[in-house]
């Protein structure tokens, strides 16, 4: 909105300035004694000081319009940069979540393979011993393994950074 308002003011000031320049050429429009200066039918009679003051006002309007245009473009650029930054952040978060889900799927697959291998090994051991049990009884039940960090901790007396005796 500010950008459009600034463009309108700037264009109006340029049009007024150009109309004053191109509409008042020739000897009849000299500002000496009895000179006449007109813009869009408005006749400015008087001194060159009054005409200079009108020029200052038109220039100030042009400067105001240019300032509004610059402010509007800067604001738009900041908004775009913020949107790009947020989009990059959300893409990184989505990628991290996808990696986390992929890691969880791989972990579940490894747990399933481990359980299947244990069941198969147990069935082979039972077959060698002659006490073959049906495969349904030896297969490990499907459980939802916890995926939190506590499942990685050592079980029993073991500690991650606790005191341990030296091997002999």
Q: How many CB atoms lie within 10 A of CB 138?
A: 17
Rounded to a whole number of angstroms, the CA Rg of the chain reads 43
User: What would the pLDDT profile of 97-115 be if each residue is shown by its tens digit?
Assistant: 999 999 999 999 999 999 9
Per-residue model confidence as pLDDT tens digits over 57-112: 888 888 888 888 888 888 888 888 899 999 989 999 999 999 999 999 999 999 99
> Going by C-beta distance under 8 Å and a sequence separation of 6 or more, which residues neighbour residue 147?
104, 107
pLDDT digits over 19-60, tens only?
776 666 555 555 555 556 666 676 666 666 667 777 888 888
Could you say which DSSP state residue 26 is in? S
Distance between CA 62 and CA 156 in Å, rounded?
A: 81
> Is the pLDDT higher at 152 or at 119?
119
C-beta contacts of 89-94 below 8 A and 24+ residues apart: none
The continuous run of DSSP H or E covering 2 comes out as helix 2-22
Render 57-117 in DSSP notation, one character per residue: HHHHHHHHHHHHHHHHHHHHHHHHHHHHHHHHHHHHHHHHHHHHHHHHHHHHHHHHHHHHH
Please tell me the distance from the alpha carbon of residue 42 to that of residue 151, in angstroms, as a whole number: 88
Q: How confident is the model at residue 3 (pLDDT cuts 50, 70, 90)?
A: confident
Q: Indicate the DSSP class of residue 142.
A: P
Provide the pLDDT for residue 77: 86
pTM (2 decimals)? 0.41
Q: What is the pLDDT of residue 56?
A: 83
Residue 159's pLDDT is what? Answer: 57
What is the Cα–Cα distance from 44 to 35, expressed in whole angstroms? 9
């Amino acid at each position: 909105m500010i950008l459009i308002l600034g463009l309108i003011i700037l264009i109006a000031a340029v049009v007024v300035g150009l109309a004053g320049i191109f509409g008042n050429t020739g000897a009849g429009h000299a500002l000496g004694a009895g000179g006449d200066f007109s813009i869009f039918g408005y006749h400015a009679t008087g001194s060159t000081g009054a005409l200079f003051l009108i020029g200052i006002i038109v220039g100030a309007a042009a400067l105001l319009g240019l300032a509004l245009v610059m402010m509007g473009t800067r604001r738009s650029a900041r908004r775009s940069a913020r949107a790009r930054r947020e989009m990059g952040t959300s893409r990184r978060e989505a990628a991290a979540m996808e990696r986390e889900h992929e890691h969880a799927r791989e972990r579940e697959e490894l747990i399933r393979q481990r359980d299947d291998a244990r069941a198969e090994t147990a069935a082979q051991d039972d077959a060698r011993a002659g006490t073959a049990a049906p495969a349904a009884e030896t297969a490990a039940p499907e459980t939802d393994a916890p995926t939190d960090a506590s499942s990685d901790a050592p079980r029993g007396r073991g500690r991650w950074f606790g005191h341990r005796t030296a091997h002999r």
